[in-house]
Amino acid sequence: MSHRSERRGIHVDQSELLCTKGCGFYGNAAWQGLCSKCWREEYQQTRHKQIQEDHALAERLQKEEEAAYANNHQGATQPQPAIAPFSKFEERKTKEKSRKVNTMTKFFTPSAKTPPKKESVPGEALSTPSPSVSRKPLETDRTTQEFIDFLKTLKPGREIFKQCRAFTESMAYKRDLGADELSECVQDFYQNLSDRLHTHFKGSSERVESVMDEVERYMMTRLYEEVFCPETTDDEKKDLAIQKRIRALHWVTIEMLCVPVDEEIPEVSDNVVKAITDVIEMDSKRVPRDKLTCITRCSKHIFNAINTTKKEAASADDFLPTLIYIVLKANPPRLQSNIQYITRFCNPSRLMSGEDGYYFTNLCCAVAFIEKLDGQSLNLSVEEFDLYMSGQASPQRPQAVPSPACSAAFSQMNDSLDLLTGLGVRQERVMEGARRLESDLIDWRDGVEHKVQDVLERFPLEMHPPASPTASSAIDADNVENDHLPSPLQPQLFAG
């Protein structure tokens, strides 16, 4: 047997799940190990720097154009329109820099530029969705109505609905933007709205979170078709790659991953099936929070399975290998797209802390581990790993040893299998005899037909014409001497 290197195993230190900047929140591989807060700060700084560079480039080009124009038109006193495009470019850049700042400066107060509207019944704005909403599918209409009913209990509910509806409708004109830009727009809206709500509710985090959850549900239900797996990204390519990778790892056993789960226990097996179902169900949800809920339910079923098997509390070192095993067995559809969708458009506070953020971060770690899985992680040599991956060989799966409580059932099952085997042999024997009998009958029939044909050929049947009725009535009609015989005696009657 080839030499096996020292096992690396599956282990993730809990500190590795946290933001690399040390803020204490959970990080994400999609954000280069940063939490959503630090990532947005980094992204905004990079974006601001890019805007400044573009602005400097525009100024330099403008000066060069002005210098070239001055050299070619000495003595010209009137300004020429050739410089205007660069001035407009500079103006557009300045507006782009200040656009985010002015997005929601008057969130809870009506805009002075808004034209006056006719008098309406209080609550009318919340009772009738816009025509664009009514054209959405049934699920969108239902979500809109639920959002309206929720906002009716809030004082700023009407203004919140107007802002959310206006924002979702404006996103229809931003389909050509990249996924990061779309995410930035949504996250900016979340952040501005959250800040306003904290001011309105005077720091009541629970009420703010409840409102933000409903805002996310309403907005992402309407925007789902536009922002989930957009064409501007390679999410679909990543989905196919991870699906192919998981399919190629179908041979990985529970023992290779050191998963502390015994699927022979009915309760454990039931929890494993539920965990697989939940992680697959994630793709059917439209709201990032609902997808996170599926991940959380899956993780809790995993902990239940581990606790039942070990009869003690599960640790993080037990959880991650089991989660990897569940993902390998489930092969969830559009896994990378769902992870990216949650990362881009979920309420950031849910990913930064809490059990949802913890379980989601572990799922990202599990996917990253599957992508980099090698023989050393599974205690296999490089040669064995390559053979299993190519399909040229399959690992030997250990046979399960039945417990004493199941010995009677296994014994009865084995007896039944032996009986079925004996019946199968007897049936095959009977079928063989029937086939021989059929063959003998066919041979006998062919022999009889052959003999009859030989007799008919040797003694052909001759057909004579039928005799006349008179001639055939007398037995001795051919005897001429019969004409000289006396008449037959007639019976006589005597009276007595």
**Three-state SS at 18:** strand
More confident residue, 263 or 42: 263
Domain ranges of the chain: 138-227, 238-390
For residue range 180-201, list pLDDT tens digits in order. Answer: 899 999 999 999 999 888 888 8
Are the CB atoms for 26 and 352 separated by under 8 Å?
yes
Which amino acid appears at position 494 of this protein?
A: F
The CATH architecture one would assign to domain 138-227 is Orthogonal Bundle (1.10)
Which three-class secondary structure string do you get for 101-158? CCCCCCCCCCCCCCCCCCCCCCCHHHHCCCHHHHCCCHHHHHHHHHHHHHHCCCCCHH
Q: Would you list the DSSP string of 19-56?
A: -TTSSSSB-BGGGTTB-HHHHHHHHHHHHHHHHHHHHH
| Average pLDDT of span 309-330 | 92
Are the CB atoms for 167 and 187 separated by under 8 Å?
no
For residue range 220-232, list pLDDT tens digits in order. Answer: 999 999 999 988 8
Alpha carbon distance 134, 2 (integer Å): 67
Token readout for 290 is: 């609902």
- In 3D space, the residue among 327, 355, 321, 329 whose CA is nearest the CA of residue 339 turns out to be 327
What pLDDT shows up at residue 467?
61
Q: In degrees, to the nearest 5, what angle opens at C-alpha 66 toward C-alphas 65 and 68?
A: 65
What pLDDT shows up at residue 216?
95
Q: Is the pLDDT of residue 38 over 70?
A: no
The highest-level CATH class for domain 238-390 is mainly alpha
For residue range 347-375, list pLDDT tens digits in order. Answer: 888 888 789 999 999 999 999 999 999 88
Are the CB atoms for 296 and 359 separated by under 8 Å?
yes
| Average pLDDT of span 80-99 | 50
Length in residues, the chain: 496
Token readout for 228 is: 């989930």
